[in-house]
A and B are shown apart, each in its own frame.
Chain A
């Protein structure tokens, strides 16, 4: 079935209430911590209090003797059992042809710790209290070393890893530097910008948690873990770290309370629990505490960049030149290396016809928690840089922010960018038009005058973003260094009475797949949404799948289900043809009924399902019984959601307080299956993006390397009253190569919103002479910027 046909089916575009909400809203969800196995024990991790230190000795004897203690394990035990370190899933090759520096990432620290929170010792005891008490008795003798936490201090800073004496992981580049440099010599105007993309802490509502379980009877393991991609977790853990055969390890990611990227990765704790469950022959639970999550979850962003944009006299972009220093943290987290490269610089063409782009990225090790993909992953960093410099160019040239964008929008598709990607379709002008209308841009001047009358400054900011989603064509990803495929699987199991269970490799941790995917299946088969259940998150039940990240689930996971449904439909037509004594090429299937073209013969889907499993009158010699099909879908291209966001802020110049007064988001996600769920995703993304722009900031002490924002007392999480009511709109150009015509919506809000907000702040502050401001635009920072401009 094609995407256009699909979009017209019943239930597609319908805001079906979420099937999963009953259990979530009544507290009946089953999260990892809700699971209690027999003979459960509890683990606590002793973590480094130092940003950087040599370990002189570890003394666990008092801890081992403490009441209730089952085991105390340290780096030496890991080494003795010959476990490998944690792997990195993406190889980046430096511009000199050398592979990136890939230092060991020990499961428990050996000889050295490299960030505050680094995992050193695991204590397992009968109760959590006993484990905590024993953990306090572990004596680690550290010899502290100087630390570097700021990416600008990494070069020439204290060496973290022998393999990378200068802390440099790789230098990567894309684009033709020679041509770009030449274009700059011919520019009528050059806009320059230095900016920092601030580090963020993911803060999923449910912290990480895991239960390791080993069965001596079957010699197999089960790991329950709060994770976004259980098959990937299993593959990395078995093949790369533990050397176990995959059929002996089952990974279950039950209900998961948010991930935002931070639960994609294989973490040391997961390995420790699996390993120790056999070693100690006990089921072991670990639930990360919030303070521990601040220290040890993979953080997001943390770029420091310099950008230059060359323009002609009419404001047309001629070339973009970018240098970025990316902070990778102390070790390479699972997909850390592709975030500031493949997922970042390939997006620097944005929505514009800029013919030449050159970007160079230096990636560095620092004494901080590892940095990896966080909602948007690379694409927010690209969008922030590009949309900031575009608005800055507009300010410098005296052009309206919308006008400079319109002059440079891509309008012909498909469009080959100078940074590898080929956009299949989009309508950027339509998004801009719709967003401006919804935002009542026409009324801005009047609102600005009203603010001014009250001594306030009002500004408007634009951001026209694009993202590459639907990750990803495996062959392209492989050529770019991916060490895994990026397809997705789907199995559609039609039961004898016509209800359906779907097994998907996608994982839902808040996205509402149980509803959206059921809508896809119900619409195709002409059955009720309630007749379809979605199973995910269990390697013991679901075929090998790649999980959820990069706004890929509906476009890749949904497409796999579509392919399985194609197979179901084809087989069902053969069964129907047999029952109605017709040729299967004459069978049509619509609205849950099989009909013979040109006749009034028809039978319902349920009859065919039952016949498949009760094959008394059935073409057994040519057709197998049953109606159960599996498909794998590997996309042929990325999908390209896009949109234009408009922010309007009001600033109190006395205190620097920024009040976000209006926010408008118009997105093109292609086909929308459940508008309510999509709107929820947009809201969540906006809150995260605006949070980054206005309040969220992860800060390490530049001298000591201590995390200064280690709790919600100092790390500002966005709250409902920080926001106005969002205005949301849509433009739809269905993706041309996706069976559903979808593009993905999970990250858009977080990608598009930060530059819109900062551009609005800078627009408001322009009369005071403020030209630049880094995120987050807290009252203090804004006030300081105003004071500096006065001075």
Chain B
């Protein structure tokens, strides 16, 4: 780790000011601190958001569940509103990383980082979530821009993520054996706008699969998945899985998610 200065503002306004002035926002730190320890990142000014009171908590606004950015995975997992209205999201949060990660990691941090194998981005895409920032609101479809890239501008902070409550939904993650990140994770949501299917872990960023969505729009049932062709050409091949294998997993995990959503 390199030397850095550390601020822990108590208000969003103060945090936003510090970040605008070139500070690096620190959320749960479950990716960033490890990167700093390995000297892969060297922020000079760290702005710890953990004491910003406006940034934590879960509330229901109309047909939306709004989760403030610094809400930890464990708190999403255990939240009664989330469990009641979007149980798939609570289950997803409960399956991220390990206990330590869930006790520290936050939804805002995960979404802002946009790790191509992270869980939350798939939920945000499939549920048609909106990312709230200090300056605007961004639809999930416009927010995630491929590996570690998002629509966030310099100095812009995520304040919350709002999720429309779906008719039903489920997340099926196939874990990579070492990291236990998603080798392929599929979030399926049957929404008022129709079924949406978002895939994480399989490519250079989270993506929706129109073929699967169309098939499920015809009939929201596990057997609808069988006839869909998954193009492997855009998928990742690495030491853990070939693109063809990931294509297979997308089908299997989608089917499992649909099955689970219906059960």
Measured CB to CB, the residues of A under 8 A from B are 129, 132-133, 291, 654-656, 695, 699, 708-709, 712-717, 778-780, 783-784
Interface 1/0s, chain B 163-196, versus A by CB < 8 A? 0000000000010011101000000000000000
With both beta carbons as reference points, the residue of chain B lying nearest to A654 in the complex is identified as B252
Docked-complex contact B240 and A783, CB < 8 angstroms: no
> Which residues from 30 to 62 on chain B have a C-beta closer than 8 Å to any C-beta of chain A?
38-39
Q: Across the interface, which residues of B come within 8 angstroms of A778, CB to CB?
A: 177, 240
Interface 1/0s, chain B 1-26, versus A by CB < 8 A? 11100000000000000000000000
Q: How far is the CA of A528 from the CA of B181 in the complex (A)?
A: 51
Q: Across the interface, which residues of B come within 8 angstroms of A655, CB to CB?
A: 174, 248-249, 252
Q: Across the interface, which residues of A come within 8 angstroms of B177, CB to CB?
A: 695, 716, 778-779
Docked-complex contact A783 and B178, CB < 8 angstroms: no
Separation in Å of the B156 CB from the closest CB of chain A?
Answer: 29
With both beta carbons as reference points, the residue of chain B lying nearest to A718 in the complex is identified as B177
Q: How far is the CA of A552 from the CA of B4 in the complex (A)?
A: 50
Docked-complex contact B179 and A783, CB < 8 angstroms: no
Docked-complex contact A709 and B3, CB < 8 angstroms: no
B242 at the interface (CB under 8 A from A): yes
Q: How far is the CA of A133 from the CA of B181 in the complex (A)?
A: 32
Give me 17 A-to-B residue pairs in the complex whose CB atoms sit less than 8 angstroms apart, sorted by A's number.
Answer: A129-B1, A129-B2, A133-B2, A654-B248, A654-B252, A656-B245, A712-B178, A713-B179, A715-B178, A716-B177, A716-B178, A717-B178, A778-B240, A779-B174, A780-B241, A780-B245, A783-B245
Q: Across the interface, which residues of B come within 8 angstroms of A709, CB to CB?
A: 178, 239
Q: Given A655-B174, A699-B239: A714 and B252 within 8 A (CB)?
A: no
Identify which of B2, B239, B248 contacts A783 (C-beta below 8 A): B248
Q: How far is the CA of A626 from the CA of B225 in the complex (A)?
A: 84
With both beta carbons as reference points, the residue of chain A lying nearest to B248 in the complex is identified as A783
SS class of chain B's interface: helix, strand, loop or mixed?
A: loop
Q: Across the interface, which residues of A come within 8 angstroms of B3, CB to CB?
A: 129
Centre residue among B2, B177, B178 by max chain A CB count within 10 A: B177
Q: Across the interface, which residues of A come within 8 angstroms of B174, CB to CB?
A: 655, 779
Q: How far is the CA of A715 from the CA of B240 in the complex (A)?
A: 10
Q: Across the interface, which residues of A come within 8 angstroms of B181, CB to CB?
A: 713
Q: Given A655-B252, A780-B245, A783-B248: A708 and B239 within 8 A (CB)?
A: yes
Separation in Å of the A98 CB from the closest CB of chain B?
Answer: 38
> Which residues from 238 to 255 on chain B have a C-beta closer than 8 Å to any C-beta of chain A?
239-242, 245, 248-249, 252
Separation in Å of the A396 CB from the closest CB of chain B?
Answer: 29
Docked-complex contact A780 and B178, CB < 8 angstroms: no
With both beta carbons as reference points, the residue of chain B lying nearest to A695 in the complex is identified as B177
Q: How far is the CA of A499 from the CA of B2 in the complex (A)?
A: 52
Q: Given A714-B240, A778-B240, A780-B240: A695 and B38 within 8 A (CB)?
A: no
4 smallest beta-carbon distances between A and B, as pairs = A716-B178, A716-B177, A713-B179, A780-B241
Identify which of A656, A714, A784 contacts B239 (C-beta below 8 A): A714
Q: How far is the CA of A715 from the CA of B239 in the complex (A)?
A: 10
Q: Across the interface, which residues of A come within 8 angstroms of B248, CB to CB?
A: 654-655, 783
Q: Across the interface, which residues of A come within 8 angstroms of B39, CB to CB?
A: 132
Separation in Å of the A365 CB from the closest CB of chain B?
Answer: 24
Q: How far is the CA of A4 from the CA of B99 in the complex (A)?
A: 50
Q: Across the interface, which residues of B come within 8 angstroms of A129, CB to CB?
A: 1-3
Separation in Å of the B16 CB from the closest CB of chain A?
Answer: 31
Q: Across the interface, which residues of A come within 8 angstroms of B179, CB to CB?
A: 712-714
Q: Given A132-B39, A655-B248, A784-B245: A713 and B239 within 8 A (CB)?
A: no
Q: How far is the CA of A129 from the CA of B179 in the complex (A)?
A: 28
Q: How far is the CA of A653 from the CA of B35 in the complex (A)?
A: 38
Centre residue among B2, B178, B248 by max chain A CB count within 10 A: B178
Separation in Å of the B38 CB from the closest CB of chain A?
Answer: 7
Q: Across the interface, which residues of B come within 8 angstroms of A716, CB to CB?
A: 177-178
Q: Across the interface, which residues of B come within 8 angstroms of A695, CB to CB?
A: 177-178
Q: How far is the CA of A291 from the CA of B38 in the complex (A)?
A: 9
Q: How far is the CA of A132 from the CA of B3 in the complex (A)?
A: 12
Separation in Å of the A590 CB from the closest CB of chain B?
Answer: 53
Separation in Å of the B33 CB from the closest CB of chain A?
Answer: 15
Q: How far is the CA of A778 from the CA of B241 in the complex (A)?
A: 9
Separation in Å of the B115 CB from the closest CB of chain A?
Answer: 11
Identify which of A291, A656, A714 contacts B178 (C-beta below 8 A): A714
